[in-house]
Amino acid sequence: MITANARAVFSPEGPFQPTTIERRELQPHDVLIEIKYAGICHSDIHTARGEWGPVQYPLVPGHEIAGIVRQVGSAVTKYAVGDRVGVGCMVDSCGECENCRKGEEQYCLNGHTGTYAAIDRYGQYTQGGYSTHIVVTEDFVVRIPDSIELDVAAPLLCAGITTYSPLRHWGAAPGKKVAVVGFGGLGHMAVKIAHAMGAEVTVLSQTLKKKEDGLRLGADHYYATSDPQTFEKLAGTFDLIVNTVSAQIDINAYLSLLALDGTLVNVGAPAEPLPVQVFSLIPHRRSFAGSMIGGIRETQEMLDFCAEHSITPEIEVISANQIDEAWERVLASDVRYRFVIDISTMGKE
Ligand SMILES: [Zn+2]
Ligand SMILES: [Zn+2]
């Protein structure tokens, strides 16, 4: 076993405490990664607090992982010691089902293995990236291009791929009008990526508080959804709307903003059902869709795309002692735009 230092919560209420966790001995296809940075995702909070179902404690969250390969198993061919690599929201899948064979491991028919709070194929409870080391099978590791620093690489592994995948799938490109609902961790990545894909990008945010940032980061337009005139003005406009907000919104009002054959795709998931009026869809052949992260091949494609277009998230680096405080700020939407933990600050204490 390999002992890693980590920060864990021991109950839904927290707080984080220093601890150690055991990582498995390297299997033939495993790599040992020394984690340098881990991003803080809203899902970490939902999961650790048991809001998405019961979890085991202690729990080490974190699925935006960037680090360096320190050891490789005997049969590893894709990575070598010293490589700069990342791990996102999943660490394994069956590899045999129809969806896995298509490279859509996130939709594995037998269920992919989450990076934390899941049972892996060895029967162990998975623990995430708020830790100094992780062992992952090479097929679920991606390469971080040299031009992307590790701190800004981390959030690409969840926020980046979560927004890249639907933008690709629904064809964000020159001549397409894309709206992004919500301008936080996911939303600001969606804006940067959609802009780099050549689409005309509009942010739909509750207020105009972050308008200057939005326009600077690649949006062509920025509207406040608290202003009812926004919905009148933009009715029937968009080919694609990416909804990054996981709270309740008036979904029918947003569907009315879609053009003919337009799609509204949800990447955040509110706890309560959204009451869709079918009559919001029928008159303009509109679609209401969902999308979850992306496959491993597409995650690598996203990293290479971000390197090529010099896209990186806006981050605030924190120390391991500031995670509780950072979580409170995430819940208060007080972050521009992603917290990243500097894992080198995670001493044993
Ligand atoms: Zn996430
Ligand atoms: Zn599968």
Measured CA to CA, the distance from residue 25 to residue 7 in angstroms comes to 21
pLDDT at 123: 97
3-state secondary structure of 217: coil
pLDDT at 214: 98
**Which ligand is nearest the CA of 93, by number?**
2
Measured CA to CA, the distance from residue 219 to residue 206 in angstroms comes to 15
pLDDT at 248: 87
**Domains contained in the chain, CATH given:** 2-157+314-345 (3.90.180.10), 160-290 (3.40.50.720)
**Which ligand is nearest the CA of 163, by number?**
1
Measured CA to CA, the distance from residue 136 to residue 269 in angstroms comes to 27
pLDDT at 272: 82
107 C-alpha to center of ligand 2: Å? 7
pLDDT at 19: 96
How many other CB atoms are there within 10 angstroms of residue 114's CB atom? 18
Would you place residue 30 in the very low, low, confident or very high pLDDT band (cuts 50, 70, 90)?
very high
Does the pLDDT of residue 349 top 60, yes or no? no
109 C-alpha to center of ligand 2: Å? 5
13 C-alpha to center of ligand 1: Å? 20
**Which ligand is nearest the CA of 330, by number?**
1
**Which ligand is nearest the CA of 98, by number?**
2
Which tens digit of pLDDT belongs to each residue from 262-299? 999 999 878 788 899 999 999 899 999 999 999 999 99
253 C-alpha to center of ligand 1: Å? 27
Q: Which of 90, 267, 87 is nearest to 163 (CA)?
A: 267
pLDDT at 6: 98
pLDDT at 185: 95
Does the pLDDT of residue 347 top 80, yes or no? no
185 C-alpha to center of ligand 1: Å? 10
Q: Would you tell me the crossing angle of helices 296-308 and 185-196 to the nearest 10 degrees?
A: 70
pLDDT at 131: 98
Distances (CA, A) of 72 to 42, 93, 136, 245: 31, 20, 10, 39
Measured CA to CA, the distance from residue 258 to residue 300 in angstroms comes to 30
Mean pLDDT value of segment 237-250: 94
Measured CA to CA, the distance from residue 241 to residue 254 in angstroms comes to 8
pLDDT at 247: 85
pLDDT at 67: 98
236 C-alpha to center of ligand 1: Å? 31
* Strand-by-strand arrangement of the 287-290 sheet: 221-224, 200-205, 177-181, 238-243, 258-266, 287-290
Which tens digit of pLDDT belongs to each residue from 310-319? 999 999 999 9
**Which ligand is nearest the CA of 113, by number?**
2
In this prediction, what percent of the chain has a pLDDT beyond 70?
Answer: 99
Q: What's the chain's average pLDDT?
A: 96
The whole-model pTM stands at: 0.96
**Which ligand is nearest the CA of 90, by number?**
1
Measured CA to CA, the distance from residue 105 to residue 93 in angstroms comes to 6
Across the strands, what pairs with 119? Answer: 125
**Which ligand is nearest the CA of 114, by number?**
1
Query: Residue 139 contacts by C-beta under 8 Å, 6 or more apart in sequence?
Result: 29, 78, 95, 296
Please work out, in degrees rounded to the nearest 5, the angle formed at the alpha carbon of residue 143 by the alpha carbons of 297 and 340: 105
43 C-alpha to center of ligand 1: Å? 5
Measured CA to CA, the distance from residue 152 to residue 23 in angstroms comes to 25
Mean pLDDT value of segment 311-334: 96
Across the strands, what pairs with 68? Answer: 34, 84
Please work out, in degrees rounded to the nearest 5, the angle formed at the alpha carbon of residue 115 by the alpha carbons of 113 and 117: 80
